[in-house]
Amino acid sequence: MKNLDDLLSEGVRGRRVLVRADLNVPLDGEKITDDGRVRASLPTVRKLTEAGAQVVLTAHLGRPKGEPDPKFSLAPVARRLGELLGAGVALATDLVGDSAQSVVAGLTDGSVALLENVRFDARETSKDDAERGALADELAALVGPNAAFVSDGFGVVHRKQASVYDVAKRLPAYAGGLVLAEVEVLRTLTGEPKRPYVVVLGGSKVSDKLGVIKALLPKVDKLLIGGGMAYTFLAAQGHNVGNSLLQGDQIESTKQLLADHGDKLVLPLDVVAADRFAADAEKQVVAADAIPADWMGLDIGPRSVELFAGILRDSATVFWNGPAGVFEFPAFADGTRGVAQAIVDSDAFSVVGGGDSAAAVRTLGLPEDGFSHISTGGGASLEYLEGKELPGVAVLEGER
């Protein structure tokens, strides 16, 4: 897989380089509430600009319906990226139209342009190869015949999309530093990780992670379950979970997992229950099998944190994906904080699997350098660990 260093050794001064970045940040109006993904894109962008490339960034934000939508504009991202780079970032108001052509034509060596949200064009996510290919042709034409493509958005490499997959078939393609680092870390986890190998999974739905749970259980020493998905496992054990998040259609699957791997699966001993889903809800700590009928579990309890922390302290390799509770509400953040702190305090090679877990690290003020690696792509990480092929990586490895 050719990478950014290979491209730099070939020389990029005066060349346009199309970079697919992952700049899908959370917004409150036009305010970015977590700029982690923007900051993660900086090393690749800086290497290219310092080498004299004319950098053209493509990225998506949110889930627009294949047409322009002002609330999903990348304008706030362009501003923040410019602040972090210490140089202006020109924003095209379209993807491959007049504005994009004008902005790209105006680039000078070492400057950066950001094209408007790639998902404003329905062809980006089309299942039709020809439709995606037509958009990829236009993107390739936009940057010209001597251009190169750098894939640096790990959060989207599990998608067969025009700006991720099809462009890589039309331009000389290279893995950016971010994608390369992510793949190397995940290969460590899927190869021969040091043991004990412990995985912590949280989040809301068992169905979202059933595939990766089945794939991981034969390989790990312990799999700790928190978050909303824990209540489906508790229900599978026959416990009343009150009004907690529950996927009834997954109970039989979780029963089978418990029967086959009960020695590896670790469930909460207690939970922080609330009388409603709200930051100011009344709360109480109860045993995991004693949730009141009209209450809901919103976090793991202190005994569970102690249990999980003890296992994590003795681990040599840790993968964590998904918060242990509703960490966005301070009253229900202690479980996630406790689990994360235990990982920081361990001597393990530790990987945070992107998404809400990475956001929790920053929101709760935990040291980012306390983890060996914080992924920018939760979904891509899980699919890789599940054993699925990632189209955006396969195309860089020579699948043409």
Annotated binding site for (2R)-3-phosphoglycerate: 37, 119, 159
Determine whether 205 is an active site residue. Answer: yes
- Specify whether 355 is catalytic: yes
List, edge to edge, every strand of the sheet that includes 197-201. Answer: 265-266, 222-225, 197-201, 317-321, 349-352, 373-374
**Binding-site residue set for substrate:** 22-24, 37, 60-63, 119, 159
Catalytic residue among 15, 20, 37, 264: 37
Separation of alpha carbons 297 and 332, rounded Å = 10
* Residue 227 annotated to the active site: no
Measure the CA–CA gap between 270 and 211, rounded to whole angstroms: 26
Point out the annotated binding site for ATP: 209, 297, 328, 354-357
Is residue 40 within 8 A of residue 85, CB to CB? The reply is no
Instruction: Point out the annotated binding site.
Output: 22-24, 37, 60-63, 119, 159, 209, 297, 328, 354-357
Element holding 179 (H helix, E strand): helix 177-190
In order, the DSSP letters of 214-253 are HHHTTT-SEEEE-STTHHHHHHHTT---TTS---GGGHHH
d(CA 308, CA 187): 25
79 is catalytic: no
Coil, strand or helix at 59: coil
Pairing of strands 373-374, 349-352: parallel
For residue 196, whether the previous peptide bond is cis, meaning omega lies within 30 degrees of 0, is: yes
Per-residue 3-state assignment (H helix, E strand, C coil) for 336-399: HHHHHHHHHHCCCEEEECCHHHHHHHHHCCCCHHHCCEECCCHHHHHHHHHCCCCHHHHCCCCC
Residue that the structure tokens 């004319």 belong to: 54
Question: Residue 263 gets which letter from DSSP?
Answer: T
Spot the catalytic one: 82, 110, 370, 379.
379
Q: Scanning the structure block, which residue is given the tokens 């998902």?
A: 119
The catalytic position among 205, 255, 283, 388 is: 205
User: Choosing from 155, 322, 325, 355, which is the catalytic residue?
Assistant: 355
CA distances in angstroms from 229 to 211, 240, 361, 379, listed in the order given = 14, 14, 20, 16
Residue whose token pair is 């595939």: 211
Longest CA pairwise span in the chain (Å): 67
Are 361 and 116 in contact by the 8 Å Cβ rule? The answer is: no
Residues with catalytic roles: 37, 205, 355, 379
